Each structure stands twice: as C-alpha cells, then as structure tokens.
C-alpha cells in the first residue's frame, strides 16, 4: 500500500516551511520513526519521522522547495519486497522496445541515480553508465555526477555546483609572482539562506527598527556561585542525575527580578501594555541550523534540578535539530550566554515581542577592590538590553543590580529573597 507523507501542522503562526535535506533516498528501506527529511520553518528545523515501515518510492518536494501544512512531500510503499521498491518511471518512446533483460538493467541503474545527481547528468548529457558510483549500494551521488562532469577520477575532490556555474577567471597577463607561487585566484561560492536564517535576520532588523533599544551593564563576582557548585555539585548530580550549571542560578535570579519588576516581563501591543503572570524564560542556544531560543515554561515553579534538566534536554534537541515549534514559542524574557563562546562584552538584541534580554559573558579573573584590598576574583560582565518605550532606566538598572546581588549571594536565591 502506498501512503503519503505530508507536512505536519507546525502551529498557527507558521504558514510556510522549506524542505531541507532528505535523509533517505528513493529506493531506501525505512522503519517506523526513522527520520525522513528536515523541515525548516521560521522558528526551527525539525526532522519528520516515517509513520510506517516501507520503501521510499517518490519524493514529491525536493530540497529547497516551499510547502504548507498538509502538503504531500513523499510517498512510501509499506508492502516490503514489492516491486515498488523502485520509483515508477515513464518509459521513453522508442521505435523498438528493448529486450526485457536490458530494460530491467536500465531501470535498476536509473533507480540508483539520486535526484540531485540525475539533474546534473541531464544538464551535462552524461549517461549514468559513464559514472563511477561511490554511494551505498552502488548509488550515484551528486558528488559522483559532479566528478563525471569535470572529468575527475573517483576519490578526487569534487567541485561544488556553485563553482561549476562560475566562469574560471582567465587573466590576460598573469603576473610572474603568481606563476612562481602557484597560487590560484580567490573564489567565492553562493548558497541560499535557510528559512530559519532568513527569519532570524528579519526579526533582528524588526527589533532594531521598531524598538527603542538601550543597554545597561554591570558585573558580578562569581566566587560564591563557583564555590557552591564545587561544594555541592557532586551531591547535586548524584541525587538529580544532572550537573549543577551556572544557568539555573541566572534563571532563578531572573525569576526573582521579574517578580519584583513585572514591567520587564511585559510587552507592548498597540497602545496597551500586556502584563504576563507566568515567567517563560527563553534560553538562546546555537543549534545546528542557527540561533534558536527554546523556552523554559513557568520557570517560577521550577527547582534548580528541574531547570537544569530542561536546559540539558533543550540543548540536546537544539544540537540535533529536533526542537518542536511549541518549545520555541511564547517566551516572555530571554537569556543569551555569549560567554560559552568566549564573548567578553556585547549588547544583545531584544527578541520581539519581548521587552528585555539578559546577556551573559565569559568569566575572567580580574583585580577588584574588596574591603579596601585589591584581590583577584572571577568576574562576569552582565548586559541588559531593553525596550526603552516601556522600561525606564531606573527599573532596568535596578533590575540588573538585583541580578548581580543574587548571583553574588546565592543564598538569597535559596531563600527566595
């Protein structure tokens, strides 16, 4: 039986998706819940699993095409061992029909040519028999077709399609120095932006254009938190099965601060200010396809262990591009930790329609004055960017100062003061 693979409902706010990389090829056997294709929306990239076991017989929407919820993108034959293990092909019109044995051999070869490779071979007018396959099951991959078009032997580096359509620079009179050094002229290649990357760019520009963004800075002595993690971290991990990181301290500090200053957790809607009772903290994570901001729901109700478990789970999903749209929508405040990449100081951009974002940075040993003495302490710079239309400077500075104080005295977080 042939079943249709359709684009799932990814939420009311997502009207269009882009088909990403197909993870299986026509003719491949797939099992239930095997990932078939990556689907890129404006919020995340998700992998679509196979609902049944069978053979992929048709790809309706190749990589790069647009699709909507409910659109058919592929078909699977669930009858194992059926003749549908190979895609249906329309017989070319000929004067004489080929012998059955030759026709079967040609069909087998065509079935092993991957769609991207088939397009290149058709453009270059190269027969599949002239290509040396390197893919599993003697399949002809795109790289094989590119090598064949360039006249390269198998195993030699293949040029990209972007390079193939670019004319080779032929200088009229190459300088002697270039001949001696043997250096090739510089090249460039163009690749389309993913839907997620285009959406990130659009939203960042929207924030800069529609908000009055201002940033205030402070610094936090991380000595107490580092000592607490060193003393209780092993016991914490043994009891809860997750390590005690820095982020749970900042999430709890943000929760306390937003309770004290609910305007920082609010948003502007037209001429109204919308206050949110729940505190849903987005944690910016660099995923496989770009920056994503999964949301820790009702953070005001969570313990340190629950926060750490959610951060670990969301981070793993971001790495594997398996975050769902529901896990990315509805945040009321964002924390961005550029310190994990070594950032010393930055001015984070607010994630609309939120009104503020907290930027964390690298922890560095610095000389500081303590009780009239210069001592070395681990210090982190903090940055709070906020929409000045709704949050005044006094509230923003006091809010950030409260974050600093709670991090420097983590016992306040335990006592919720």
Q: What CA–CA distance (Å, rounded) separates 255 from 251?
A: 6
Examine the residue annotation and report whether 388 is marked as an active-site residue of this protein: yes
Please report the sign of the dihedral spanned by the C-alpha atoms of residue 228, residue 232, residue 233, residue 236.
Answer: negative
Q: What CA–CA distance (Å, rounded) separates 380 from 139?
A: 53
List of residues 6+ apart from 67 with CB closer than 8 A: 7, 16, 17, 18, 19, 39, 61, 73
349, 213 contact by CB (below 8 A): yes
List of residues 6+ apart from 307 with CB closer than 8 A: 247, 248, 251, 252, 296, 299
Q: Quickly list DSSP for 214-229.
A: EEEEEEEE-HHHHHHH
Q: What count of other Cβ atoms lies within 10 Å of the Cβ of residue 317?
A: 19
For the chain, how far is it from start to end, CA to CA, in angstroms?
A: 63
5, 59 contact by CB (below 8 A): no
List of residues 6+ apart from 350 with CB closer than 8 A: 207, 211, 213, 334, 356, 357, 385, 386, 387
Nearest to residue 26, comparing CAs of 8, 51, 47, 5? 5
- Which is the catalytic residue, given 28, 34, 164, 388? 388
List of residues 6+ apart from 215 with CB closer than 8 A: 347, 348, 383, 384, 385, 386
Q: What CA–CA distance (Å, rounded) separates 413 from 256?
A: 8
Nearest to residue 279, comparing CAs of 323, 334, 215, 358? 334
What amino acid positions are annotated as catalytic residues? 388, 392
């Amino acid at each position: 039986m042939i079943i249709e693979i359709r684009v799932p409902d990814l939420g009311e706010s997502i009207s269009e998706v882009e088909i990403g990389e197909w993870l299986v090829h026509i003719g491949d056997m797939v099992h239930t819940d095997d990932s078939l294709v990556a689907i890129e929306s404006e919020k995340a990239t998700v992998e679509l699993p196979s609902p049944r076991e069978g053979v992929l017989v048709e790809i309706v929407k190749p990589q790069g095409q647009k699709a909507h919820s409910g659109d058919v993108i592929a078909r699977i034959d669930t009858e194992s061992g059926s003749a549908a293990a190979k895609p249906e092909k329309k017989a070319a019109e000929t004067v004489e029909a080929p012998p059955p044995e030759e026709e079967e051999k040609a069909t087998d070869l065509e079935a092993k040519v991957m769609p991207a490779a088939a397009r290149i071979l058709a453009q270059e007018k190269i027969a599949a028999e002239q290509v040396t396959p390197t893919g599993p099951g003697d399949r002809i991959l795109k790289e094989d077709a590119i090598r064949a078009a360039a006249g390269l032997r198998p195993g030699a580096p293949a040029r990209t399609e972007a390079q193939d359509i670019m004319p080779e620079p032929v200088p009229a009179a190459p300088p002697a120095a270039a001949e001696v050094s043997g250096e090739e002229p510089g090249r460039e290649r163009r690749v389309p932006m993913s839907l997620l990357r285009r959406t990130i760019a659009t939203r960042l520009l929207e924030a800069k254009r529609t908000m009055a963004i201002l940033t205030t800075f402070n610094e936090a002595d991380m000595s107490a938190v580092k000592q607490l993690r060193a003393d209780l971290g092993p016991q914490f991990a043994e009891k809860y099965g997750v390590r005690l990181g820095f982020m749970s301290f900042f999430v709890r500090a943000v929760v306390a601060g937003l309770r004290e200053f609910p305007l920082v957790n609010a948003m502007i809607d037209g001429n109204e200010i919308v206050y949110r009772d729940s505190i849903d903290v987005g944690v910016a994570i660099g995923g496989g396809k770009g920056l994503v901001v999964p949301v820790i729901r009702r953070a005001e109700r969570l313990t340190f262990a629950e926060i750490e478990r959610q951060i670990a789970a969301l981070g793993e999903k971001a790495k594997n591009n398996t975050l769902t749209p529901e896990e990315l929508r509805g945040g009321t405040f964002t924390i961005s930790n550029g310190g994990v990449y070594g950032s010393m100081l930055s001015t984070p951009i607010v994630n609309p329609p939120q009104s503020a974002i907290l930027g964390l940075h690298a922890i560095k040993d610095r000389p500081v004055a303590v009780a009239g003495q210069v001592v070395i302490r681990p210090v982190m710079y903090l940055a709070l960017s906020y929409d000045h239309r709704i949050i005044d400077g006094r509230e923003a500075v006091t809010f950030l100062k409260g974050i600093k104080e709670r991090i420097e005295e983590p016992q306040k977080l335990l006592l919720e003061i």
